[in-house]
Structure 1
Amino acid sequence: MARPRSIQAHRKVVEAAAELFSEHGIDATSMDAIAESSGVSKATIYKHWPDKDALCLEVLGFVHGLDEKPPIFDSGDFRTDLIGQLRYQPAADRKAMKDKIWPHLMAYSARNRAFGAAWRAKVLEPARIGLAATIKRGEKLGALRTGIDPEVGIALLLGPMMYRHIFAQRLGQNAPKDLEVHVADAFLAAFAKQSRKDQKPSTRKQVRR
């Protein structure tokens, strides 16, 4: 069954804009160019999006796979779930386009702070919220000690992933193999809840008063 024409036009515009943004940058891509490339009139485009920034936000959601329902990592094995969540790459078929658009996105966001805040809320916030929920679930399972500052935990987990994405891959360097496993194990080494039999007795001498 064919999709309604408006839905087809919507998808054509998003895909055309994603390709143009990744090839020429956001500033250099006009709505006229998007209309020409997509075969959708500019008047129709403006019915869907009030301006280029709104369209660009949807494009970013598309290339980052926000149109896909993410899996739920809740098997009961916290280490396995954490590794799976760190490894999860939505919209793998759009990775090349995402990598091409990333430098343009960084430059555009630096010049347009309101847009930068909007895309961080749209694209990055779901990952942050997901990891915060995973940390809380780890505490409930007894895999993690309680009272972990979720922002510290998120920074420790996402930092290496961002290093691999921004520095290692873009500078042509090889990231460590199975980086997600190393990150999960380091996180557990820092925050895992020790059982009483695993706790080392204190070596400090008590001072008698």
Structure 2
Amino acid sequence: MMLDVLSKEDCEQVRLWRNQCLETLRTPYPLTKEMQEDFYRDVVMNPHSKHKYYAIKMHEDVLIGMGGLTNIEWENSQAEISLIINPALQKQGHGKEAVRLLLDQAFNYLNLELVYGECYECNSAADFWRNIGAKYDAHFAYLNKRKCYNGTHFGTVYFDVKRDDFAAMCEDMPNCDKRIAEHGQISICSLCDRWYYRKKPEQREILCSNCASGLI
């Protein structure tokens, strides 16, 4: 897998994939071809843009997704991660490798110190991002009612990955899945299934802030 220059044709294909998963997006409406062309011209092709997007390819001519490092703050050395994978190719490990490539780009080529992301609870990829965060020893923060979709408000989880944690995980890549299981950093409420990140899993059980009844 590789990150490549994003072409206008790539961008149009990604638009079709994007419009299939509106519940995962901050802009919950379909994009037209003309709107995507404006995005390509004004953002992707703009050398002064604070958003960098990449074609994710299995080979030089096989597009499987688009990844981004967006809202770049050079003065603070941080950016937000963005990822869209062809729906037909999801749950096959491609997203995991794409995230690694994007983090490598952020830390080892753009010289950033921190990459953060946001995942809505209505996103079917929530488990994917939980595992990504745990893998890279991310910090998690939960916010209520960040997303309204189909008449329902959903919470969201922010996570961040620091350069040093990414470097440490890359050094221990053969044991990374074992490390996630051993650390037990994700705690689930016993009643409402809300998930939390806990730096010290051994600490006493506490009440869930969502349902105020379950224990985590």
TM-score (norm 1): 0.31
TM-score (norm 2): 0.31
Relative contact order higher in (CA < 8 Å, ≥ 6 apart): 1
State the structure with more CA Rg.
1
Task: Compare the two structures and name the one with the higher helix fraction.
Answer: 1
